[in-house]
Chains A and B, each alone.
Chain A
């Protein structure tokens, strides 16, 4: 059995089968959770491209699947990434029990993650743009559930994400020319411009970010959070693969400077806009913009430092974005809208979720003692060495996100306690809910633990081995 079949084709097939299930119960969610957990465990425990003996049975997970004349390769060096991605998927499925993003979530999330894995596996890897576009299209029924009027945000999201495809595919063709004649400045410039445009659309870099806040006002926060975590994460890994593959990109300092500038601009604008938001969904969108900006900054630091920082940031960001989306989704179920003015009673009723949301925003801003702080510190140090102006922009963005967190904290603490109404039972808050307590404690301890002891996840730094050229 090949790794690409196991971690890409199988989830897509299983997810498609789950969509056929018509009863309105949690069976698909349990099945998807089980499959996702098993795939995480296999990725964690079983080496790829090695013969394994289980009693009298021997089997091997081969690294390559040949499909329509092209290879899909997931080798041993990517096994840790597979573990991480499927662990993330397992947590997103677990969160679906309390957030209820829709009946199609289990099936579609499996299909989407399968497509993301296929995007990371396909050779030549520039074809990944098509698989990412397919993943976005697959996600639409969750962004606009049946019975809802679609807004302009989803339209723009589809258009912008599809725009990335022609740019990236054409770059692939130009790159063959660049490799043949690396001294041809005109060709390098054209390829670079197309590439920059393609990834700007894919990563929703300013000014192509506008679909995120628009969509955030229209859709379920958990469905949006899933897309806004996985899409930039996989796209930035795709970008790293590209830099790893082509010498003219890897050895060109301008590429890293552009990435640093684009990332810093994303952090600045995301943070500044976040500080002005009164809608928590839009706030989540801008927080995601800051997170993506941070990833770009980490790549922009270049060489091994940047690579280590990228993965040191990606993991805690995944943890924070998952929790933030989950909290917002639960809060959204108990309030008419996510506008801060209307959110007060829900925040008072769900102090654990309110606290988690505030802590999540603080963590994304890079507050000391919280998970992503170590990576933020590395980014700020690297930025300071290269450009003080970019460092200042980045710090201002973080301050903006911090201000957004403080505003949410103020809205929570200043909200009047919901008045008990005669004859009506008080809505159930989160204090009596053991699942919320478990979520709160595990999430908080992990975030704080990672912030205090960043070496806690040191083994995960083996992820950098996927990019040996950059590591040098």
Chain B
């Protein structure tokens, strides 16, 4: 991956992840998640053959679709108007700290590991950090699922460089889809008919 392409992909990854963290509209968040998987896929390509790496892209898209379709069938909830600006500012600040940490840690990690390049280290750590922020700072199962999927996408960029087992790919796919399905179930559980 050339310097220009690598930097561009990491920047685009950062933009989509940040957008998911700060925005209030679930539709755009789902779209950002889907696009984020494209950039993650591009970062997995240097480590894996394209036909195996595409599994991650398709898995991510299916997970995003599952979440989106579930959310589509739920009533819209207007965002709390009073706390939004300060919330966005706080989340941006938290994300800024993550970016600073990653800028410092990624080069050392790439140098130490010798398994993944600097762009993979940047991309992977950024997604892990912002995914963690999403889980910690946003409430509700929908946002937690977005955070977990983002975190796992970051982890998979790094892990792809050190492990290319088909079984692990399959199991990680199952876990990603499991996160989306469980989050969907939890979103609709109150509306389902109770047992007995």
Identify the A interface with B (CB < 8 A). Answer: 24, 67-70, 102-103, 122, 127, 130-131, 133-134, 137-138, 140-141, 144-150, 154-155, 158-159, 162, 165-166, 169-170, 172-173
A-B contact count (CB 8 A): 102
Q: Is the pair A155, B144 in contact by a Cβ cutoff of 8 Å?
A: yes
Considering the complex, give the chain A residue whose CB is closest to the CB of B113.
A173
Contacts of B179 in A (CB 8 A): 137, 158, 162
Interface check B182, CB cutoff 8 A: yes
Interface of A is mostly: helix
Q: Is the pair B172, A130 in contact by a Cβ cutoff of 8 Å?
A: yes
Contacts of B189 in A (CB 8 A): 144-150
Q: Is the pair A130, B171 in contact by a Cβ cutoff of 8 Å?
A: yes
Contacts of A155 in B (CB 8 A): 141, 144, 186
Chain B interfacial residues counted at CB < 8 A: 35
Q: List 10 A-B contacts (CB under 8 A).
A: A68-B165, A68-B170, A70-B165, A127-B165, A130-B172, A133-B175, A147-B192, A166-B155, A166-B159, A169-B155
Known contacts A134-B178, A138-B178, A165-B175; 11 additional CB pairs below 8 A are: A69-B167, A131-B171, A137-B179, A146-B195, A148-B189, A150-B141, A158-B179, A165-B155, A166-B152, A169-B155, A169-B163
Q: Is the pair A154, B186 in contact by a Cβ cutoff of 8 Å?
A: yes
Q: Is the pair A134, B171 in contact by a Cβ cutoff of 8 Å?
A: yes
The 8 A CB mask of B183-196 against A (1 = contact, 0 = none) is 00110011011111
**6 closest cross-chain pairs (CB), A and B:** A147-B194, A146-B192, A137-B178, A130-B171, A68-B167, A70-B167
Considering the complex, give the chain A residue whose CB is closest to the CB of B156.
A166
Interface check B148, CB cutoff 8 A: yes
Interface check B166, CB cutoff 8 A: yes
CA distance A169 to B169 in the complex (A): 12
Contacts of A122 in B (CB 8 A): 167
Interface of B is mostly: helix
Contacts of A172 in B (CB 8 A): 163
Q: Is the pair A102, B141 in contact by a Cβ cutoff of 8 Å?
A: no
Q: Is the pair B194, A145 in contact by a Cβ cutoff of 8 Å?
A: yes
Contacts of B15 in A (CB 8 A): none
Considering the complex, give the chain B residue whose CB is closest to the CB of A158.
B182
Q: Is the pair A159, B148 in contact by a Cβ cutoff of 8 Å?
A: yes
Interface check B101, CB cutoff 8 A: no
Contacts of B196 in A (CB 8 A): 24
Cβ distance A106 to chain B, nearest Cβ, rounded Å: 14
Q: Is the pair B171, A150 in contact by a Cβ cutoff of 8 Å?
A: no
CA distance A281 to B123 in the complex (A): 42
Contacts of A130 in B (CB 8 A): 168, 171-172, 174-175
Interface check B135, CB cutoff 8 A: yes
Contacts of B174 in A (CB 8 A): 130, 134
Contacts of B181 in A (CB 8 A): 137
Contacts of B185 in A (CB 8 A): 140-141, 144
Q: Is the pair B195, A103 in contact by a Cβ cutoff of 8 Å?
A: yes
Q: Is the pair A173, B162 in contact by a Cβ cutoff of 8 Å?
A: yes
CA distance A158 to B182 in the complex (A): 9
Cβ distance A157 to chain B, nearest Cβ, rounded Å: 11
Contacts of B159 in A (CB 8 A): 166, 169-170, 173
CA distance A133 to B172 in the complex (A): 10
Partner of B167 from the list A127, A134, A149, A154 (CB cut-off 8 Å) is A127
